[in-house]
Amino acid sequence: MIAYQKEEPRRSPMKKDMVEQQPGSPSPEVATATNIPGMLSPIHVTRTFLPPREEYLHWLDKAYSSHVLTNNGPIHRELEETLRQRFDVPHLRLMANGTLALQLAIRALGITGKVITTPFSYVATTSAILWEGCEPVFVDIDPKTCCIDANLIEAAITPDTTAILATHVYGIPCDVEAIGAIAKKHGLKVIYDAAHAFDVTYKGKSILAWGDASTLSFHATKLFHTVEGGAVVLHDEGHDRELRLLRSFGHIGDDHFSLGMNAKMSEMHAAMGMAVLPYVSEIVADRHRCMQSYGEALADHIERPRVPEVGYNAAYYPIILRDAEQREHVQQVLVQKGVHARRYFYPALNTLPYLKTQVSCPIAENLADRMLCLPLYHGMDSLELKRVSDGVLEGIIAFTAQK
C-alpha cells in the first residue's frame, strides 16, 4: 500500500511489551490491571507499540558511546534523514512535539493575522494559532471526510487572511488540490496538521508533499512514535533555515539571528523512533486487520467518515452515532464492558470558551456530539475486537428499544 517504504518489516514483539497510554476509568467489574484471572482487562482507545527492549537498548548504547544526548546528535540526524527519504520530501525537521511543530511552522512561514482553519481537530491545531498571536477563522467541515470544506474557504478570506491551517483528521486527506488552488489565487500559505497522517499516501505520493508545510506528531499514542516528538516538513530552503533557528534558540554558535526557543528532540527520543520505525508497516497492516473486523461486525449499523482513494494508515476508527443521546448510551454500555472509546474530536474547536469571537459551524458541532473513536491498535485480538463491536451493537439495540 505504501510504495515508498524502504525498510525491512520486522516481526513485532509480544503483546506484553505494549503499554496502556490512556488509563480511563474502568467500571468495578473490570480489572484495572491486565492478567487477573477471571477479570476482563480494560480496553483503551489506543495502546502504545513498544519495540523489543534490546532493540531500543541498541540505540541507547549508541547514545552512550557518542556521549551526545541532544543538540542534533547522530541518532537525531539519522532519524531525520530516514524520515525525509521515506516521505521523499525536501526538508524534514524533528521537533520536541507536534504542538511545537505547529507553532514553529506558523512562525517559520511568517504567518500573521487571520488563519483559516478547521473546527474539527485536536485542540492543539487551534491553540498553536492563538499562541502565535494569530486569529483562527473557522470554516465548517465536509460531513463526508470531516476535513475542512474547501468549498467554503473562499467566502471566509478577508484582506487580513494570510494562511490556511487544515488537519488531515483521522489520517483522511483534506481536498489538497482545491485548497492549493485557492491558496495560490489569494496568495495564502498552507500548513497541514498531519499529526494523524504518518505514511498516508495520495496519488502515489506522501500526503506530506502538499502545502507549504506539514506537521507531524510522534506522541506515544500515534502509530509511529518517539514517546514525545514531532516533525515539520517544508518545501522551501529559506523556511527550513528559519525553522532550524527557531528550534534552537535562534543562534548558530555565537551568531544570533532571530528570536528562537528550545524545541529540539533528544537522542533518547530519536532512539525510540529508530527502534519503532522498522515495525511501522506491520503496525499499519495489523490496524487494517482490526478495521476489517469492525467493518464486518458494524458496517450495517453505523455511519463512518468516508476515506477517499488513498493509501490509508488506519490511524483511527471513528463511528458516527445517530445523535448525542445515542452516542452517550453506546459509550456507557462500552464502559460497562471495560471498553474506553473516546470522543475524538470534542468539542468543536469553534466553541472553545476562550475564543474572542464565537462563530457557528453546525456540521462540526453536530459531528463532535455524535462521534466516538473505538479502540484500535496493533495486536488487538479477536476477543477484544468482538467485545468492542458487541458493545457497540448492544448499545445501539438497547437504545433503539428504549425509544
Ligand X SMILES: Cc1ncc(COP(=O)(O)O)c(C=O)c1O
Query: What's the closest the beta carbon of residue 218 comes to ligand X, in angstroms?
Result: 7
Among 63, 105, 115, 124, the residue binding ligand X under the rule CB under 6 A is: 124
Query: What's the closest the beta carbon of residue 270 comes to ligand X, in angstroms?
Result: 15
Does position 161 interact with ligand X (CB under 6 A)? The reply is no
Does position 266 interact with ligand X (CB under 6 A)? The reply is no
Does position 42 interact with ligand X (CB under 6 A)? The reply is no
Range 181-200, binding ligand X (CB under 6 A)? 193, 195-196
Burial class (CB in 10 A: 0-12, 13-18, 19+), 286: buried
**What gap in Å lies between CA 172 and CA 306, rounded to an integer?**
8
Instruction: Go through the chain and tell me how many residues it has.
Output: 403
* For helices 123-131 and 98-108, angle between their N-to-C axes, nearest 10 degrees: 40
Does position 230 interact with ligand X (CB under 6 A)? The reply is yes
Does position 167 interact with ligand X (CB under 6 A)? The reply is yes
Q: Which residue is nearest to ligand X (CB)?
A: 98
**What gap in Å lies between CA 290 and CA 376, rounded to an integer?**
7
Among 49, 59, 120, 122, the residue binding ligand X under the rule CB under 6 A is: 122
Comparison of 121 and 206: residue with beta carbon closer to ligand X: 121
- What is the x/- site pattern for ligand X, positions 92-111, by CB under 6 A? -----xxx------------
The cell numbers describing 231, all together, are: 516533525
Q: Which amino acid is at 237?
A: E
DSSP state of 137: E
Q: Which one, of 321, 347, 348, 315, lies nearest residue 334 by Cα?
A: 321
Comparison of 230 and 379: residue with beta carbon closer to ligand X: 230
Range 199-228, binding ligand X (CB under 6 A)? 217, 219
Question: Percentage helix, strand, coil, to 5, in the chain?
Answer: 40, 15, 40
Residues at the site binding ligand X, with contacts judged by CB under 6 A? 97-99, 121-122, 124-125, 167, 193, 195-196, 217, 219, 230
